[in-house]
Homo-oligomer: A and B are copies of this chain.
Amino acid sequence: MVPHLVPRQLVQLFRWQVVCARGASVQPRTWALVSRIPSLLSPWGATGTSHLVCRSSSSTSPCAPEVVLTQERYPVTRLPFSVVSEEDLAAFERIIPGRVVTDPEVLEASNVDWLRTVRGGSKVLLRPRTSQEVAHILRYCHERNLAVNPQGGNTGMVGGSVPVFDEIILSTAQMNQVISFHSVSGTLVCQAGCVLEELSRYVEERGFVMPLDLGAKGSCHIGGNVATNAGGLRFLRYGSLHGTVLGLEVVLADGTILNCLTSLRKDNTGYDLKQLFIGSEGTLGVITAVSIQCQPKPTAVNVAFLGDGNLHLNVTSEAFSPSLLDALEPYVYEWTARQQGSVSAEHGLGFRKRGVLSYSKPPEALRLMQQLKALLDPQGILNPYKTLPAQA
């Protein structure tokens, strides 16, 4: 079943891990592939962007209520970060009064990803409203050696948006203000926690469209979109966020606020630092504000569902099967590497795919990525266990 007929440029494989709670007694679920380009269906899925829909075989809860802790399911070792103490909670309460959440029920939703495949054990969720508050929090965490998991809408596909162990969850949910919109140029400047759909509505009322659109738009945050370099439906028309994002404000691991929030279409003064943070999945800094180029609303609805050249492989299984996974996974990654494809063109690496980066990138590139991580986050407190492979 080697797909010889798939042209090389389409081979940007995203393999979906169909995982339910191991050993849990769950209703079987099947994943149905709903392609937007049925005519391009291949044995490997579809060459267009596709959606997975969870079809329940009963009318009760479609998926298992319990998700096994990531640290129990995966071979991952906690790094020597500090553990959050009562003093730390009191310090956070001073920085963001009334927005330090320790209620286990509220935390549950932020500890588990929406696919219900990974589950962290964080004991505290912080909800800053401003970049200055984020800076205070990170400066404190940096001094105390506390690990931090930045979280937007928690709609990621690879376990990048939830803690692995007890990392502090730093939510952008309350950083949801539009800072400015220029009605001639279409430049939108907003906080990182703005929900994509709300931004879309906001700019559409003013005659523009956002340069990206995603199935998760009702929940995902623009900061998370940028941190994961989300593409989606408008990718072919308006191009990558590396081109449409004009500026970023980022808080670095030590609490430094890096203001690259320009609204200039072009700015060739020095290195384009914001590019470092686009797609780095919160491991190099926390994006707190975004300046983005919106486009005039098309006169006709001609934004065709062209897809983005990704090939989504989906495997259906009644239950999570490690042996099936072990049989398929290396084969798929190696084949993809031979085709000069990317093992994750679409959704990033997060936690679940960080081990396979070497299939797509040469050792020199991996080394430079590790060096950049060490430069920007010397203690490694930002989104640990994500994106980059564990150091030997």
Quote the shortest CB–CB distance from A291 to chain B (angstroms).
11
Given contacts A243-B239, A269-B349, A271-B276, A375 and B371 within 8 Å (CB-CB): yes
Q: Which residues of B contact A27 (CB under 8 A)?
A: none
In the complex, the answer to whether A265 meets B9 with C-beta atoms within 8 Å is yes
Quote the shortest CB–CB distance from A323 to chain B (angstroms).
26
In the complex, the answer to whether B349 meets A273 with C-beta atoms within 8 Å is no
Given contacts A357-B270, A364-B259, A275 and B242 within 8 Å (CB-CB): yes
In the complex, the answer to whether A272 meets B242 with C-beta atoms within 8 Å is yes
Binary contact readout A254-282 vs B (1 if CB under 8 angstroms, 0 otherwise): 00111110111111111111011011100
Q: Which residues of B contact A273 (CB under 8 A)?
A: 365, 368-369
Taken together, the copies of this chain in the complex come to: 2
The interface size of chain A toward B, counting residues with CB under 8 Å, comes to 70
Q: State whether the Cβ of A320 lies closer than 8 Å to any Cβ in chain B.
A: no
In the complex, the answer to whether B12 meets A343 with C-beta atoms within 8 Å is no
- Interface hits, A322-368 → B, CB 8 Å: 340-349, 357, 360-362, 364-366, 368
Quote the shortest CB–CB distance from A181 to chain B (angstroms).
12
Given contacts A242-B243, A271-B279, A271-B280, A364 and B256 within 8 Å (CB-CB): yes
Q: Is the interface of A mostly helix, strand, loop or mixed?
A: loop
Q: State whether the Cβ of A372 lies closer than 8 Å to any Cβ in chain B.
A: yes
In the complex, the answer to whether B268 meets A228 with C-beta atoms within 8 Å is yes
Q: State whether the Cβ of A7 lies closer than 8 Å to any Cβ in chain B.
A: yes
Binary contact readout A281-312 vs B (1 if CB under 8 angstroms, 0 otherwise): 00010000000000000000000000011100
Q: State whether the Cβ of A131 lies closer than 8 Å to any Cβ in chain B.
A: no
- Interface hits, A368-390 → B, CB 8 Å: 368-369, 371-372, 375-376, 387-388
Q: Which residues of B contact A35 (CB under 8 A)?
A: none
Given contacts A9-B185, A243-B244, A375-B375, A267 and B235 within 8 Å (CB-CB): no
Contact of A342 among B187, B235, B269, B275 (CB under 8 A): B269
Q: Which residues of B contact A150 (CB under 8 A)?
A: none
A82 to B362 CA separation, bound complex (whole angstroms): 32
19 cross-chain CB contacts under 8 A = A8-B182, A9-B265, A229-B266, A240-B243, A242-B243, A262-B342, A263-B340, A265-B308, A266-B346, A267-B360, A268-B342, A268-B344, A268-B347, A270-B360, A270-B366, A270-B387, A271-B284, A372-B375, A375-B375
